[in-house]
Homo-oligomer: A and B are copies of this chain.
Amino acid sequence: MNPTIELLKSHRSIRKFQDRRIPRELFEELIRAGQSAATSSHVQAYSIIHVINPKNREALAELSGGQRYVAECSDFLVFCADMKRATDAAARAGAEVVRGMTEQLLVASIDTALVAQNVAMAAESEGLGLCYIGGIRNNPADVSELLRLPDHVYPVFGMCLGYPDQTPEIKPRLPLASVLKEDYYQDERDAELVAEFDATMHTYYHVRTGGNKDTNWSEQLKPLFTSKLRPHMRDFLRGRGFEMK
C-alpha cells in the first residue's frame, strides 16, 4: 500500500480544529489541486465561495443546523454547482443556450463533487483535516442570498478546513462485496451483508460511547428516509434556474 492510498484510507471527518490558520499560499495550492480533477466536457461547472467575513461564518453555522465548526475552522468553503459561467461563455460566443436541463444539474453537481474531493485529499496530504457540510442544503435559499449566488448556481455543500484538534476513529464502511458487483447488479446477498455491517457498526458505536449508544447502520438510516429529507430541494432548485427539464 503506497502512502497516497494509505492517506485515502485514513480519512475521517474532523470537527474540532486548532486555533491556527492555513497559510494563504497553501490554501491556494489546495484549490489548484481541486481544479485538476476531471471535468465533464471541460465545463468546470463549479465555483467555490471562500467565506471569510466572521458574521457570515456565524450565520452559515446556524443555517447549517448549528454546526459550530463552520464558524471555528480555519477556512470555510461553500462548493457551488455553477452552470452560469459556462452557459454565459457559450452565449457570448454566439450559442443559443438552453438552460435548466436535468443533465446540466447532474454535470454541475458531479463536477463540484470531484473538485471538492481533490481539495479534501490535498488538504489531508498536508496534515489538515476537513469535514463536508451537507447541512448547507438545510436552508439553501438563505445561504444563496447570503452568498449572493445568481441563477444557475446552487450551494452543493460546505467544507470546513483546518488543523485537526482531534483524532477520531476511522468509521467503518460497507463490506466490499456489498458495493462492488461483477457484471450485473446482484443483491441476493445484500440483506446478509447489511446485517454483517449492522453488527460492525453496533460494535463501533458501543465502543466509541462506552456502551451508551445501542444502534446500528440500518437504525441510523431510518430518520433519513421516513421524514422527507430536505423536501424543499426541488422547488429551491427550480427557482434558481435548475428546472430539471
Q: How far is the CB of A52 from chain B (nearest CB, A)?
A: 6
Task: Give which listed residue, B122, B225, B245, contacts A8 with CB less than 8 A.
Answer: B122
Q: Which residue of B lies closest to A46 (CB)?
A: B179
Task: Give which listed residue, B44, B95, B99, B222, contacts A94 with CB less than 8 A.
Answer: B222
Q: List chain B residues, Cβ under 8 A from A56.
A: 183
Number of copies: 2
Q: List chain B residues, Cβ under 8 A from A174.
A: 35, 44, 85
Q: Which residue of B lies closest to A111 (CB)?
A: B113
Task: Give which listed residue, B157, B184, B191, B224, contacts A110 with CB less than 8 A.
Answer: B157
Q: Which residue of B lies closest to A44 (CB)?
A: B174
* C-alpha gap A244/B50 in the complex (Å): 30
In the complex, the answer to whether A150 meets B187 with C-beta atoms within 8 Å is yes
In the complex, the answer to whether A31 meets B231 with C-beta atoms within 8 Å is no
In the complex, the answer to whether B4 meets A42 with C-beta atoms within 8 Å is no
Chain A contact residues (Cβ within 8 angstroms of B): what range?
35 or more
Q: List chain B residues, Cβ under 8 A from A63.
A: none
Q: Which residue of B lies closest to A39 (CB)?
A: B173
In the complex, the answer to whether A90 meets B50 with C-beta atoms within 8 Å is no
Q: List chain B residues, Cβ under 8 A from A84.
A: 187
Task: Give which listed residue, B50, B107, B137, contacts A180 with CB less than 8 A.
Answer: B50
Q: List chain B residues, Cβ under 8 A from A89.
A: 194, 198, 217-218, 221
Q: A180-B50, A244-B234 are in contact. Are A125 and B187 (CB under 8 A)?
A: no
| Binary contact readout A74-95 vs B (1 if CB under 8 angstroms, 0 otherwise) | 0000001000111111111111
| Binary contact readout A200-244 vs B (1 if CB under 8 angstroms, 0 otherwise) | 000000000000000001111111111111110110010000001
* C-alpha gap A90/B215 in the complex (Å): 13
Identify the A interface with B (CB < 8 A): 1-5, 7-11, 13, 28-33, 35-38, 40-44, 46-53, 56, 80, 84-99, 101-104, 106-107, 109-110, 113-114, 116-118, 120-122, 125-126, 131-132, 134, 137, 147-150, 153, 156-157, 170-171, 173-174, 176, 178-187, 190-191, 194, 198, 217-231, 233-234, 237, 244-245
